[in-house]
Amino acid sequence: MLIDDVRERAERLKALSEKFADTDGGLRGLYELGMLKVRLWQDPETDQQDKKTYLAQAKEILSSFGKKCPDCVLASQTQKILERLPQE
């Protein structure tokens, strides 16, 4: 997605994943939203309180993706990412 504003990108990805929940595009949107939250959590310029929020959101979104699409190509990658995230 070629949207520079992170918040707008997150909103659009969320809307896409909800509108097309049971399609490949909706699942991909959910995955991309989870990865966006991981990148925001990793960003050194992110406030510590926001980091906690982004981490929790990333875990929730990526876990949801894994449950909805356990046999898809990105499922194993998603599981590896979840395993590397802190368990706070």
For 67-88, write each residue's pLDDT tens digit.
999 999 899 999 999 999 998 6
Could you say which residues of the chain have pLDDT below 70? Answer: 1, 88
Give the Cβ contact number of residue 53 at 10 Å.
14
1, part of any domain: no
At residue 22, the pLDDT reads 85
User: What is the C-alpha separation between 42 and 36, in angstroms, rounded?
Assistant: 10
User: What is the C-alpha separation between 26 and 42, in angstroms, rounded?
Assistant: 24
At residue 25, the pLDDT reads 92
58, part of any domain: yes
At residue 45, the pLDDT reads 93
Number of domains observed in the structure of the chain: 1
At residue 44, the pLDDT reads 94
36, part of any domain: yes
At residue 83, the pLDDT reads 96
Query: 70: domain range?
Result: 6-84
User: What is the C-alpha separation between 15 and 4, in angstroms, rounded?
Assistant: 17
